[in-house]
Structure 1
Amino acid sequence: MGKELVGKITHYFDKIQVAVIELSGKLKEGDSISIERGTEVFEQKATSMQIDKKPVKEAKNGQAIGMKVSQPVKPGF
């Protein structure tokens, strides 16, 4: 199965390692994701997702989620 764009990072909180992602597709907790920008790429599972500081297991197109990431990222990833 090929890659599918599910969102774009709009903000990153470095002290707590959380990225804000504006979704353009569906994302479920446990999904494998690839965070890419140019030649920078890393993969992880979608974990610790929140909407308005409340935990969620699934989010969809148009929603903005906060998600813990394993490496620092920048808006635009």
Structure 2
Amino acid sequence: MPNKKGPKIIGIVTHYYSNLGVAIVKFKAAVKVGEEVRFKGATTDFIQKIDSMQFNHKDIASSKKGQEVGIKVSDKVREGDEILEVV
């Protein structure tokens, strides 16, 4: 029987600043600017390319496992939404 494992969860939204359109994401894996990710939650489901990331208000090119970074998002996200790998 084939393995029906779903997309890998690579992060979770810990906070959302609606006035800025920025999500704070804690990553479980390294992610680079330019990668496409999927935001998925109870009422959230969209794919977006990561155009920029910030750590301590400074632009970074990639995140490290366990790091919390700010990402500009194109749609509203909620705390607890998952970030999935797009394959």
The structure with the larger Rg is 2
Identity across aligned pairs (percent)? 34
**Map 1:20-39 → 2, pairs under 5 A:** 20-38=24-42
* TM-score, length basis structure 1: 0.91
Question: CA RMSD for the aligned pairs?
Answer: 1.2
Q: Distance in 2 between matches of 1:37 and 1:9?
A: 10
| Aligned position for 1:74 | 78
After superposition, the Cα gap between the structure-2 partners of 1:71 and 1:46, relative to the gap in structure 1 and judged at 3 Å, is: same
Deviation at 1:5, TM superposition (A): 1.3
* TM-score, length basis structure 2: 0.82
Gaps of 5+ in 2: 1-5, 82-87
Q: 2:10 aligns with which of 1, 6, 10?
A: 6
| Aligned position for 2:85 | none
Q: Distance in 2 between matches of 1:63 and 1:55?
A: 14
1:62 paired to 2:60:
no
Gaps of 5+ in 1: none
Moved over 4 A (4+): none
